[in-house]
Amino acid sequence: MMGKLFAKLGWTGMIAGAAVLVYAQRRAEKTGRDMGAVLANLPGELKQTQAELQQEVKEAVEVGRKAATEREAEFDRELAGANSGISPMSDFLV
């Protein structure tokens, strides 16, 4: 029983270690720094990565909102067209 537990812990440790090395390698390539420097400052690197991801998500959400607003305006223009054959929802509900 204990042998299985230690084996699972060993595999978990190896997987986690591999994940850290892959992260450090990619971060080093992205920033142009040495992998050792990235590993030495791992908590700071993780915080910076988190901040970068949050900024990218904010930008993506804003782009999505803008695209949705533009598409909605385009759709409204199409509905307002003289021979569109489509009735706006508000007219349908009246």
Per the document, the length of the chain is 94
Residue 22 lies in a domain: yes
**Per-residue confidence (pLDDT) for residue 94, from 0 to 100:** 52
Written as one letter, the residue type at 55 is Q
Looking at every residue in the chain, the average pLDDT score rounds to 86
In order, the DSSP letters of 7-44 are HHHHHHHHHHHHHHHHHHHHHHHHHT--HHHHHHTHHH
Residue 91 lies in a domain: no
Residue 59 pLDDT grade (very low, low, confident, very high; cuts 50, 70, 90):
very high
Is 36 a residue whose pLDDT tops 80? yes
Residue 29 lies in a domain: yes
Residue 85 pLDDT grade (very low, low, confident, very high; cuts 50, 70, 90):
low
Domain count, the chain: 1
Domain hosting residue 44, numbered range: 7-77
